[in-house]
């Protein structure tokens, strides 16, 4: 089990990201504080939906989205 020091903003953000991405439904109320989640949400939301750039390339805000590979 990983431990987090919730007094450190970076570790707190890491915990929230982990729970939101990998946690089960029951984990949400167990590990997340509603008021803190609302405070962190703008950053969590944008980091969760931001597309990954190919290695070594940084997308610019005006760049069109990268094409997706056909399934």
Q: Give residue-wise pLDDT tens across range 40-70.
A: 898 888 765 545 555 555 555 555 566 666 6
Q: Say if 57 falls within a structural domain.
A: no
Q: Which has the closest alpha carbon to 12: 28, 32, 29, 42?
A: 32
Query: Which tokens is 37 given?
Result: 């989640």
Q: Say if 58 falls within a structural domain.
A: no
43 in Cβ contact with 22 (< 8 Å): no
pLDDT given for residue 43 in this prediction = 87
Global pTM? 0.60
Q: Say if 22 falls within a structural domain.
A: yes
Note the pLDDT tens digit of each residue in 12-49: 999 999 999 999 999 999 999 999 999 989 888 876 55
Q: Say if 4 falls within a structural domain.
A: no
CA distances 42 to 1, 39, 45, 49, 70, Å, are 28, 7, 5, 11, 31
Give the structural domain span for 41: 9-49
Q: Say if 41 falls within a structural domain.
A: yes
Total structural domains within the chain:
1
pLDDT given for residue 34 in this prediction = 93
Q: Say if 62 falls within a structural domain.
A: no
Q: Say if 14 falls within a structural domain.
A: yes
């Amino acid at each position: 089990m990983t431990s987090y020091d919730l007094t450190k903003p970076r570790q707190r953000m890491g915990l929230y990201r982990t729970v939101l991405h990998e946690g089960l439904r029951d984990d949400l109320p167990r590990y997340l504080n509603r008021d803190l989640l609302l405070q962190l949400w703008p950053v969590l939301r944008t980091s969760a939906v931001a597309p990954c750039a190919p290695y070594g390339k940084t997308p610019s805000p005006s760049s069109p989205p990268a094409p997706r590979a056909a399934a």
